[in-house]
Structure 1
Amino acid sequence: MCHEPVRSYQYRFHPPESSGFERCIGFAWCSGCRIYSGNMVYVPRKRVLVDALASLPADDRDQLLRKEAALVDYLDSRGIGQH
């Protein structure tokens, strides 16, 4: 056990008009030992989620969203998901 804090990040997968809008992707990871977990999570429709990938070009964003480990590395390297 490395005793590093666990970080987390959630993002919406479905568009607002979708009945699945509240079903989101959630990640939790340890910066120290690089172990992560990804799951479908419930986020209420009215809760606004920060889009940490908003500033990226569409191709870069799509690439990160297809590779969980790369997404976690990207978020971690920018200090996103700190508690």
Structure 2
Amino acid sequence: MYAPSDSFYERRVGVAWCSICREYSAAMVFVPRNEHLPDLLADLSMPERDRLARSEVKLLDHLDRLVRRGIWPARQP
């Protein structure tokens, strides 16, 4: 949302998603500058990333599949 030089850089849009009721809410959340946020789409091809970026429904369905497969969120040892 903000450039690294911006004083608001540590604020991000956080989304809470319920796979069962298929509803979500969003809010601005604090994320420290040194916190690494994983890119769950990094392994996808550019056409697939673009397809998901154009549709919230497709993106949420993709994330739901990752959760069902146990891929995300990352399991803590």
TM surpasses 0.5: yes
Secondary structure of 1:55's counterpart equals coil
Kindly indicate whether structure 1 or structure 2 has the higher relative contact order, using CA contacts under 8 Å at least 6 residues apart: 1
- Kindly indicate whether residue 46 of structure 2 is the aligned counterpart of residue 35 of structure 1: no
Query: Are residues 1:58 and 2:50 paired?
Result: no
Does structure 1 residue 22 correspond to structure 2 residue 10?
Answer: yes
Instruction: Provide structure 1 residue ranges, at least 5 long, that are not aligned to the other structure.
Output: 1-12
Structure number having the greater helix percentage = 2
- Paired residue type of 1:66: R
* Alpha-carbon displacement from aligned partner over 1:43-81 (angstroms, at most 9, x marks no partner): 111101111111011222133223222211110111134
RMSD, aligned α-carbons: 2.6
The TM-score, its normalising length taken from structure 2, stands at 0.65
Label 1:28 to 1:60 Cα distance change in 2 as closer, same or farther (>3 A): same
Structure 1 runs of 4+ with >4 Å offset: none
Cα distance between partner residues in 2 of 1:78 and 1:50: 13
The number of residues matched between the two structures is: 70
Give the number of the structure whose alpha-carbon radius of gyration is greater: 2
Structure with higher strand content: 1
The one-letter code of the counterpart of 1:75 is L
Gap runs ≥5 in structure 2: none
